[in-house]
Amino acid sequence: MHISEGVLIAPVLLAGGGAAMLGLAIGLRRMDVQEIPKVALLTAAFFVASLVHIPIGPSNAHLVLNGIIGIMLGWTAFPAIFIGLVLQAVLFQFGGFTTLGVNTLNMAVPAVLMGALARPAFRSDSGLSALVMAAVAGAGAIILSAAMVAGSLSLSGDPFIPVSRLIFVAHIPIAIVEGILSVLIISVLLKTKPEVIRNY
Amino acid sequence: MNFHAVKSMFVSIIIIPILVMFCSSAQAHRVNLFAWYEGNMIMAEGYFSSGKKAVNSTIMVFDSEGKEVFHGTTDKKGEFCFQPPRDGDYRLVLEAGMGHRAEALVSVKDLKSHTGVLEAGHAGLQTTEDSELQEEFKASEDAGKGTTAFNSKEFEQILDRKLNPIKEQLFRLAEQGDRVKFRDVVAGLGYIAGLMGLAIYFAQRKRKK
């Protein structure tokens, strides 16, 4: 998921940076004081998740958790993922500084979209539909991120079809794992602390 | 809720790194390139931080003027070798797909004298310009009272054998340096906690105004 330095061409980097800044601005504007600890908690989860590899499939990828972040944070997923990526770049040399904007966009846009898609289901009383939407958001955010990574690589000259096939195959196990994980987390939260998810 | 969130934040700051520590596959996914100059070849090995070799990855070699002098792929062991045309600094770029990329610098020196050794072959080292090696050989011949007749090929083999463990160790050291360290994980979580404090501080101040 983390695109390294020197892979993308300048227009893609600039466009990604600009769009990420816009998302960051919206996210910060919507971040209430009450929400800050929750944002920090999910930033920490995102920061550490990248260290957990899922050794299934041809190329073992790591957890991203952007589906869950999207469900819990909405637009504030942007600052959470941005800070997580900055720290990963500084401390783990993961991704890079020039690609920070594109990487933020590739992981935060699916988070926001999937969060918006799934959240109405949590307000309804049907427990089943909530769990189904949690699974869809968890797995869907990974698939969407994979598509966006493939897209940014192909905009920089890589042929789209082989690149995206490679990325999709690598991330199918992660999508399944994150789908299950998000169902587990959401079902626990709905039982114990529904206000964390519902108060949007 | 605010208090609970803060509490759970601190609990997770303690628990998450411990979980990560025990998770054997806890390594960042990044591709690394380890390159060195040996014999008259540039050798390189590509590997992911998870320990997997970067197999069939594109590798490009650029000379000091930025001109591409070689374009190829790594083999089944993630290794690659290339004979540089002349002395100078070479920049190796490895592209392992999915946006993973690594670079390494190798400087090539004394390429001529080295090929000289190889060409000299059975004639021994007397023809080479490397006076240090010559002296060493004279010394070893004296010690063996002329019974040990080395030629350069045997010398190469002996050097290889002697240097291989060191090379191996250097490689391990490089690999270790590329691993994610526990203290970095803790540092990151500390930064997040600090940023949270800052954000709350500024948000509160704005609210009071």
State whether residue B207 sits within 8 Å of chain A by CB.
yes
Instruction: Kindly report which listed range (A120-124, A162-166, B82-86, B126-130) carries the lowest average pLDDT score.
Output: B126-130
Q: State the complex-level ipTM.
A: 0.85
Q: What share of chain A has pLDDT > 70, as a percent?
A: 96
Instruction: Answer whether residue A19 is part of any domain.
Output: yes
> Is B2 at the interface with chain A, CB within 8 A?
yes
Query: Domain B27-109 belongs to what architecture?
Result: Sandwich (2.60)
Q: How many domains does chain A have?
A: 1
In a domain, A104, yes or no: yes
Selecting from B2, B99, B199 the residue whose C-beta is nearest the C-beta of A4 gives: B99
Q: Could you tell me if residue A4 is inside a domain?
A: no
Q: Is A79 within the bounds of a domain?
A: yes
Residue from the list B25, B184, B199 with its beta carbon closest to the beta carbon of A91: B184
Total number of residues shown for chain B: 209
- What are the pLDDT digits (tens) for A83-108? 999 999 998 888 889 999 999 999 99
Residue pair A183/A131 in contact (Cβ under 8 Å)? The answer is yes
Give the minimum alpha-carbon distance from B39 to chain A in angstroms, rounded to a whole number.
31
Cβ A44–B28 below 8 Å, yes or no?
no
Q: HSE-up of A48 (CA within 13 Å, CB side)?
A: 26
Task: Tell me if chain A has a CB within 8 Å of the CB of B24.
Answer: no
Q: Say if B149 is an interface residue toward chain A (CB within 8 Å).
A: no
Place of tokens 């189904």: A132
More confident residue, A71 or B55: A71
Give me the pLDDT at residue B116, please.
41
Average pLDDT of adjacent 10-residue blocks, chain B of 209 residues = 58 58 49 81 80 80 85 84 85 80 82 47 41 54 54 81 81 74 88 93 84
Q: Using a CB-CB distance cutoff of 8 angstroms, which residues of chain B are in contact with residue A60?
A: 25, 29, 50, 52
Q: Could you count the other beta carbons within 10 Å of the beta carbon of residue A76?
A: 29
pLDDT at position B51 is 67
Q: Do B30 and A92 touch (CB under 8 A)?
A: yes
Is A2 contained in some domain? no
Of B5, B30, B185, the CB nearest to A37: B5
Q: What is the rounded average pLDDT of the residues A65-79?
A: 93
Measure in Å the smallest separation between the Cα of B198 and chain A Cα atoms.
10
**Would you list the domain boundaries of chain B?**
2-24+185-208, 27-109
Structure confidence at residue B3 (pLDDT): 57
> Is position A3 within any domain?
no
Higher-confidence residue of A44 and B5: namely A44
Whether chain A has a CB inside 8 Å of the CB on B99: the answer is yes
Cα–Cα distance measured from residue B129 to residue B120, given in angstroms and rounded to the nearest whole number: 11
Judged against a pLDDT cut of 50, whether residue A185 lies above it is answered with yes
User: Which residue of chain A comes nearest to B200, CA vs CA?
Assistant: A33
Report the range of poorest mean pLDDT among A39-53, A54-68, A173-187. Answer: A54-68
Tell me which residue range forms the domain holding A31.
10-198
Query: A165 lies in a domain?
Result: yes
Q: What is the 3-state secondary structure (H, E, C) of chain A?
A: CCCCCCCCCHHHHHHHHHHHHHHHHHHHHHCCHHHHHHHHHHHHHHHHHCCCEECCCCCCEECCCHHHHHHHHHHHHHHHHHHHHHHHHHHHCCCCCCCHHHHHHHHHHHHHHHHHHHHHHHHCCCHHHHHHHHHHHHHHHHHHHHHHHHHHHHHCCCCHHHHHHHHHHHHHHHHHHHHHHHHHHHHHHHHHCHHHHHCC
* CATH code for the domain of A52: 1.10.1760.20
Mean pLDDT for all residues in chain A: 88
Q: Do B180 and A48 touch (CB under 8 A)?
A: no
- B 106-125 residues with CB < 8 A to A: none
Chain B residue nearest residue A86, CA to CA: B188
Q: Are A7 and B101 inside 8 Å of each other by CB?
A: yes
Chain A environment of B4 (Cβ under 8 Å): 193
Instruction: Look at A87 and B180 and tell me if their CB atoms are within 8 Å.
Output: no
**How much is the average pLDDT of A2-15?**
88
- Best of A28, A36, A59, A198 to disrupt the B interface by mutation (most B CBs within 10 Å)? A36
Residue A1, in any domain of the structure: no
Interchain proximity B12–A5, CB inside 8 Å: no
